[in-house]
Amino acid sequence: MTANKDSQAVHELDRTDIESYTIGGGTVYERFFDCPLDYSSPESSQRIRVFVRHVVPLGKETKVHELPFLLYLQGGPGYECSLPGSVKGGWHAKAIEEGYQILLIDQRGTGLSSPINADTLDAKFQTTAEKVQYASHFRADNIVRDCEHVRKILCAGRTGEASQKLALLGQSFGGFCIVTYLSLFPDSISKAFITGGIPPLIDSPDAVYKATYQRMISRNKQYYEKYPRDIARVRAVIEHLNQNRVTLPDGGNLSPRRFQQLGLAFGFTGGFDQVHQLVLRASNDIDTMDKLSARTLAGIADMHSFDTNPLYCILHEAIYCQNGKPSMWSAHRVREECFAAEFEHSWDKILTRSDPGMPVYFTGEAVYPWMLEDYAQLRRLKDVGAGLAEYSSWGPLYDKSVLAKNTVPVAGVSYYNDMFVDFNLSEQTAKNIKGFRQWVTNEYHHNGLRADPRVMTYLVDLLRGDMTDL
């Protein structure tokens, strides 16, 4: 059931109609909150429903009014927050050790929080303009306002300023949301931890892609150094896909440029090995059958989630847009203007290179207009995606003047070789947030928080002042 005006006579934490169950180390309460679509018109009839999993350490269920909250903001944009099988390990265990109860929020538009996809938009609206306007409300600024709305409900009745605040943990895009939270509601935050997600304080994504394409070139070189025989294998696959129309099991197109998107995995631990196995299988299929097997096609399709999490495509570039600047398919423009030769997908053009035998490079975390044709579910959002790329009414996401006077304890880790969030841009932002304690390391890729519980422990110690090797 949704927290609403009628249920407020009973505190949200005392409701008996909330579904609950146990996982390893915790009791989970599934809570829904009624939120405005547009916080500038909070009384409007346009509402959304935001879902939060509330995890309380086992044995401390009677202390929900006392334990401080740690709110986790998932990476993305466009991804829901998954339920852990246990909170006895990873960053969850460290949070519980520090005395927190945990809030796992499905950010608006994802998971169970009024998800956006072709079906839900078609059910609500008739025109593309209406759909674009609706989707424009699903960025970090309103995600943060949802969190603030939830905080006020859950912390109602608490005495003492400190007990009414949230601690925040943000991974990747979740870190972007934290910097927005620090800009809009700094007095609501007790402390914040950012992992691989210190955002660039820019108005347009062009600078991001100019940096990350360079990083992707380096990752491709490292990949082919590890798997030199994949140079010929990838070329064979690209030639095959140029000469044959290949349909994936879900009806999507496996074009050469979509195959190149397997490089998205290069940003994660083990990503090289994942891609190599698919390349090896695809090359073997072509050698033995002159086509790609159903198993190979399914494996390639499973590597991406743009169809199931469409906001990751249609709102991806908008997470960087501020002050009326449209994205205008930034990654596509930057690629064509600056990196077309390095990431060429046309076999005819590949053959005209000065060195026609050079490797075909994979692309990374970037979205392109052609994705709205090659991905089956995104086809139905083609006009919406185009409308959002041209949208020019984006408001501010960050307040540099507030960040410059920040008093909230903040610690963050920047991964030096991060393929998704450029280190140099992150470092500039860290310098603009007063008191920011930054840990720089090359030990991890973008998924360091998930890969090693030490990451959370280090940040907690860093904020506490226990770390001196900066």
pLDDT single digits (tens) 41-64: 988 889 999 999 999 999 999 999
Q: Is the pLDDT of residue 302 over 50?
A: yes
Cα separation of 178 and 410, whole Å?
Answer: 10
For residues 60 and 32, is the Cβ–Cβ distance under 8 A?
no
Please give the Cα distance from 189 to 70 (Å, whole number).
10
Q: What pLDDT does residue 1 have?
A: 56
Find the helix or strand (DSSP H, E) in which 190 lies: strand 189-195
User: How many angstroms separate the CA atoms of 72 and 81, rounded?
Assistant: 9
Q: Residue 63: what are its φ and ψ, rounded to 5°?
A: -110, 20
Q: What is the pLDDT of residue 354?
A: 79
| CA 413 distance to own-chain centroid | 16
Banded model confidence at residue 414, pLDDT cuts 50, 70, 90: very high
Query: Who wins on pLDDT, 182 or 163?
Result: 182
Query: Facing residues of 191 across strands?
Result: 167
Q: Per-residue confidence at 186, pLDDT binned at 50, 70, 90?
A: very high
| CA separation for the pair 355, 178 (Å, rounded) | 46
- Judge whether residue 467 has pLDDT over 80: no
- Average pLDDT, integer, range 279-287: 98
Q: In the predicted model, is pLDDT for residue 470 greater than 70?
A: no
The conformation of residue 86, written as its DSSP 8-state character, comes to B
Per-residue pLDDT, 163: 86
Catalytic residue annotation? 172, 418, 446
Quick one: pLDDT at residue 292? 98
- What's residue 6's pLDDT? 47
pLDDT at 421 over 60: yes
Q: Is the pLDDT of residue 455 over 90?
A: yes
| Residue 191 banded pLDDT, cuts 50, 70, 90 | very high
pTM of structure: 0.95
Instruction: Give me the pLDDT at residue 8, please.
Output: 56
Residue of 223, 292, 306, 213 lying closest to 258 (CA atoms): 306
The CA distance from 327 to 212, in Å, is 16
Give SS3 for 57: strand
What percent of the chain is predicted at pLDDT more than 90? 93
pLDDT at 271 over 70: yes
**Chain-centroid distance, C-alpha 222:** 25
Res 239 pLDDT > 80 = yes
Residue 6 burial by Cβ neighbours in a 10 Å radius (0-12, 13-18, 19+): exposed
Task: State the pLDDT confidence band at 313, using cuts at 50, 70 and 90.
Answer: very high
Q: Please determine, for residue 402, whether its predicted confidence score (pLDDT) is greater than 60.
A: yes
Per-residue pLDDT of 97-130, as tens digits, reads: 999 999 999 999 999 999 999 999 999 999 999 9
Residue 468 has a pLDDT of 56
Question: Is it the case that residue 139 has pLDDT exceeding 90?
Answer: yes
Mean pLDDT across 65-71: 97
pLDDT band at 160; cut points 50, 70, 90: confident
Q: Residue 396 burial (CB < 10 Å; 0-12/13-18/19+)? A: middle
Q: Is residue 400 over pLDDT 80?
A: yes
For residues 147-155, give the mean pLDDT: 98
